[in-house]
Amino acid sequence: MKNTVKSFLVICFLSIYSYTTAQINSEKAVINSTLDNWHKAASEANFETYFNLMSNDGVFIGTDATENWQNKAFKTFSKPYFDKGKAWSFTAIERNIYTNKTKDFAWFDELLDTQMKICRGSGVLEKVNGEWKIKHYVLSIAIPNENVNGVIKLKESFDNQLITTLKKDNR
């Protein structure tokens, strides 16, 4: 009798664990597809699809220190690129996706093959009315550690000017 109860409990535990794992994997597959479709929409210059995959209050942080785009401003900035028939082309070559317990909030990081060579993207998605929406995205250029000093020298003048301006503005 004790073995039967133990076996039953083990089977219940494994069933719940398998179901939960399958649910998480299913959500991650949908999130993965959302991100792939978002990148694809940019490469195909599909403005409507691209911005429909972002939340209305979405934010895009670009590679330039001055690029902190709120959704409306990002649309205005991006529209001429999309109108020319090709915005930008990012293809994920590695991606990690994480979800909260209620599976309505996710965060990710990805390595991308881009026209700027390898970049890193990271961000946050929120499930809105049953659909995953990109709420916050950060794009950065990946720089090998052995090249950092050279990059610092290249951007030093610009960065020093921007730091001075930002410190004045934030007083």
Q: Which residue has the higher pLDDT, 170 or 17?
A: 170
> 133 and 58 in contact (C-beta within 8 Å)?
yes
pLDDT at 5: 63
SS (H, E, C) the chain: CHHHHHHHHHHHHHHHHHHHHHHHHHHHHHHHHHHHHHHHHHHCCCHHHHHHCEEEEEEEECCCCCCEEEHHHHHHHHHHHHHCCCCCCCEEEEEEEEECCCCCEEEEEEEEEECCEEEEEEEEEEEECCEEEEEEEEEEECCCHHHHHHHHHHHHHHHHHHHHHHHHHCC
Alpha-carbon span 29 to 21, nearest angstrom:
12
Average pLDDT, the chain: 91
* pLDDT-above-90 percentage for the chain: 82
Residue 64 pLDDT exceeds 60:
yes
- Banded pLDDT at 68 (limits 50, 70, 90): very high
Q: Which residue has the higher pLDDT, 4 or 41?
A: 41
Predicted pLDDT at 7: 65
User: Which residue's structure tokens are 């649910």?
Assistant: 23
Residue 128 pairs with which residues in a beta bridge?
131
Q: What is the pLDDT of residue 25?
A: 78
Higher pLDDT, 2 or 78: 78
The whole-number pLDDT of residue 4 equals 72
Q: How many CA atoms lie within 13 A of 133 on its CB side?
A: 16
In the block, tokens 């599976």 appear at: 103
- Percent above pLDDT 70 for the chain: 87
Q: Note the pLDDT of residue 11.
A: 59
| Domains of the chain (ranges, CATH numbers) | 2-169 (3.10.450.50)
Is 13's pLDDT higher than 80? Answer: no
Task: List pLDDT tens digits, range 140-167.
Answer: 999 999 999 999 999 999 999 999 999 9
The pTM of the full predicted model, rounded to 2 decimals, is 0.84
Residue 111 pLDDT > 80:
yes
| Cα 79 to Cα 4, 18, 48, 74, distances in angstroms | 65, 45, 10, 8
Q: What is the mean pLDDT of residues 1-24?
A: 58
Residue 86 confidence (pLDDT) = 84
